[in-house]
Amino acid sequence: MTIKDWFNKRKELQIAHRELEEAQIDDSIGKLWIKCYNCNAQLLKKDVEDNLDVCPQCNYHFRINSEKRIQQLFDEGSFKEMFTDVLPTDPLNFEDTETYKNRLKSAKEKTNLNEAVKCGEAKIDGERVSAAVMDFEYMGGSMGSVVGEKITRAMEYALQEKIPMIAVTASGGARMQESALSLMQMAKTSCAVARLNEAGLLYITVLTEPTFGGVTASFATLGDIIIAEQGARIGFAGRRVIEQTIKQSLPSDFQTAEYLMKYGQIDILSTRKDLKATISNLLKLHKPYVVKEETVKKVKEVSEKKTTTAKKKTVSKKKKVKVEA
Ligand SMILES: [Zn+2]
């Protein structure tokens, strides 16, 4: 090795080391700081998290996942998840640029969730509720057959237990990979809401950033009381699609929670900080819950019928196998 070679090698090593060091610094900065999308302020992540994921400078509400929402909204440790055995399948064998099966797999890896909604029983200031909390991080919170089924079951659980139902939405709309099956969930969840209504049970919806498409067009906007979180974008079709269709530009606050409040499409506009207290007050105001027993009985009969038919089906399948054997 000549002296020149030795110097060259040393320089290369130094550059590589510096690059590695820089990458590490950048990474730790990325983990500690975030930038507010609204006011561009550099914020300590911890400050934002301590402030319920709201910018301490301009009050911008960051998008949060279902886990954080559950933590913020319900009494500590009170959320008991249910219907975790309902898992997505790929009945149409759908494939676009990627197969639906692969998309489901990567969504699970990314979010550690089985679907775009978490349902269960929880408490708000001691009041029992049945709850459905959507998660936008799982395939854009899209509503496929599992999301529809879980939300419907949560509503049936509310009926059975005679407790109020709360749905927190965050969705881009229907899940296109399930085609008509996902559109059917709009009718299904709406029917479940109708039953809650018939029984006289309280149903509150909380629309969060963003709520669009089939979710807006079904159970999200069918609440007895519709609450929207400050700054949330809520609509059916997206802004660009509407502008292209009507060939007009829309006001800058179009499809925001504030805009919908101004035009009477929601009942309450709430900051994240006030959300729990607002719902808690509503629950206490509507107590005692007077429930029509007739409807509860009817729903019970239907769900029992469903289970017996399902059981019969499995029995007959088993018989078939035996015959074949
Ligand atoms: Zn800000």
Question: For residue range 310-325, what is the model confidence (pLDDT) as tens digits?
Answer: 666 655 555 555 554 4
Task: Calculate how far, in angstroms, residue 54's C-alpha sits from the geometric centre of ligand 1.
Answer: 8
Task: Calculate how far, in angstroms, residue 100's C-alpha sits from the geometric centre of ligand 1.
Answer: 37
Query: 84: Cβ–Cβ under 8 A, 6 or more apart, which residues?
Result: 114
Task: Calculate how far, in angstroms, residue 281's C-alpha sits from the geometric centre of ligand 1.
Answer: 29
Q: What is the pTM of this model?
A: 0.84
**Alpha-carbon span 186 to 213, nearest angstrom:** 10
Look at residue 175 in the predicted model and tell me its pLDDT: 96
Which tops the pLDDT comparison, 18 or 42?
42
Task: Calculate how far, in angstroms, residue 112's C-alpha sits from the geometric centre of ligand 1.
Answer: 29
Task: Calculate how far, in angstroms, residue 36's C-alpha sits from the geometric centre of ligand 1.
Answer: 5
Residue pair 54/61 in contact by the 8 Å Cβ criterion = yes
* Ligand 1 ion: nearby residues, β-carbon < 5 Å: 36, 38-39, 55, 57-58, 60
Task: Calculate how far, in angstroms, residue 60's C-alpha sits from the geometric centre of ligand 1.
Answer: 5
**Alpha-carbon span 171 to 220, nearest angstrom:** 10
**Alpha-carbon span 76 to 90, nearest angstrom:** 36
Spatial CA neighbour of 154 closest among 162, 146, 143, 165: 165
Spatial CA neighbour of 229 closest among 271, 195, 193, 178: 271
Task: Calculate how far, in angstroms, residue 50's C-alpha sits from the geometric centre of ligand 1.
Answer: 15
Residue 193: is it exposed, middle or buried by C-beta count within 10 angstroms (0-12/13-18/19+)?
Answer: buried
Q: Is the dihedral of CA 176, 140, 236, 248 positive or negative?
A: negative
Look at residue 21 in the predicted model and tell me its pLDDT: 56
Which tops the pLDDT comparison, 301 or 46?
46
- In percent, how much of the chain has pLDDT > 70? 90
Look at residue 325 in the predicted model and tell me its pLDDT: 45
User: If you classify domain 63-289 with CATH, what class do you get?
Assistant: alpha beta
Q: Where are the domains of the chain?
A: 3-35, 63-289
Look at residue 312 in the predicted model and tell me its pLDDT: 67
Task: Calculate how far, in angstroms, residue 15's C-alpha sits from the geometric centre of ligand 1.
Answer: 37
Q: Mean pLDDT of all residues in the chain? A: 90
Q: pLDDT band at 115, cuts 50/70/90?
A: very high
Beta bridge partners of 229: 270
Q: pLDDT band at 20, cuts 50/70/90?
A: low
With a cut of 60, say whether residue 231 has pLDDT above it.
yes
Look at residue 30 in the predicted model and tell me its pLDDT: 65
Q: Using alpha carbons, list the distances in angstroms from residue 57 to 38, 51, 64, 180.
A: 10, 11, 18, 44
With a cut of 90, say whether residue 287 has pLDDT above it.
no
Beta bridge partners of 205: 167, 226
Task: Calculate how far, in angstroms, residue 41's C-alpha sits from the geometric centre of ligand 1.
Answer: 6
Query: 139: Cβ–Cβ under 8 A, 6 or more apart, which residues?
Result: 103, 104, 107, 116, 175
Look at residue 318 in the predicted model and tell me its pLDDT: 55
Look at residue 246 in the predicted model and tell me its pLDDT: 95
**Alpha-carbon span 196 to 167, nearest angstrom:** 13
Task: Calculate how far, in angstroms, residue 136's C-alpha sits from the geometric centre of ligand 1.
Answer: 21
**H-only helix segments in 35-169:** 45-50, 66-73, 100-111, 145-161
Task: Calculate how far, in angstroms, residue 177's C-alpha sits from the geometric centre of ligand 1.
Answer: 36
Task: Calculate how far, in angstroms, residue 261's C-alpha sits from the geometric centre of ligand 1.
Answer: 22
> How many Cβ atoms are within 10 Å of 104's Cβ, its own excluded?
21
Task: Calculate how far, in angstroms, residue 1's C-alpha sits from the geometric centre of ligand 1.
Answer: 57
Task: Calculate how far, in angstroms, residue 37's C-alpha sits from the geometric centre of ligand 1.
Answer: 7
**Alpha-carbon span 124 to 137, nearest angstrom:** 25
